[in-house]
Amino acid sequence: MSIITQSILVNAVKTVGRMTLEEKSELANEVFAQQPNLLASVIVQQRYGTPLEQLDVLVNLLLTFFQAMKDTGLVWPVISEDMQERCLKRVVGRINFVEGLSSVQTSEAVADFTSSHPEPHLIAFVFGELGQIDILDIKTEAEKYFVLAAVNMVECICEAAKALAPVKGKEAGK
């Protein structure tokens, strides 16, 4: 069952979309304090050759996901480096499968993956954002690392969801 419902994600997208640069900076500080490894997985993309325009997409994904995590009303465990590595191994297997496929085949593989994913709204959002910047047809190593980072964020959130504890007085999805 999805922890981050469609309505939670939509609200997070709207909330982050309306934020000023200062508010986004404050939210990024919260990410740093509560999920530093997720933030690091985005920032490191510059070392792999990700242009700033694309890095902005990853930052927006991270801020949106973090806002959605907050909006669930649940206490999320810190996503550790070990968790990121475990998730990344799964993601790499999926990316290796898709790499080299035609655009049509890639679209079909993405649709199959999205429909069976434990957080279908998050993964669909990622693929939608990546599709808008035309990066799903991975052509370079930098694009490969970028896609890995974006998809791995979702995988890490899914794994972290397995250890959730409700916040007193709040329920998930409300």
Give 109-163 pLDDT, tens digit per residue: 878 878 888 999 999 999 999 989 988 777 888 888 898 999 999 999 999 998 8
Q: Is residue 1 part of a domain?
A: no
Domain count, the chain: 1
Q: Is residue 128 part of a domain?
A: yes
Cβ-based burial of 74 (10 A; exposed 0-12, middle 13-18, buried ≥19) = buried
Q: Is residue 149 part of a domain?
A: yes
Instruction: Find where tokens 């954002």 sit.
Output: 129
Q: Is residue 21 part of a domain?
A: yes
pTM here is 0.85
Q: Is residue 173 part of a domain?
A: no
Q: Is residue 172 part of a domain?
A: no
Task: Determine the average pLDDT of the residues in 6-23.
Answer: 97
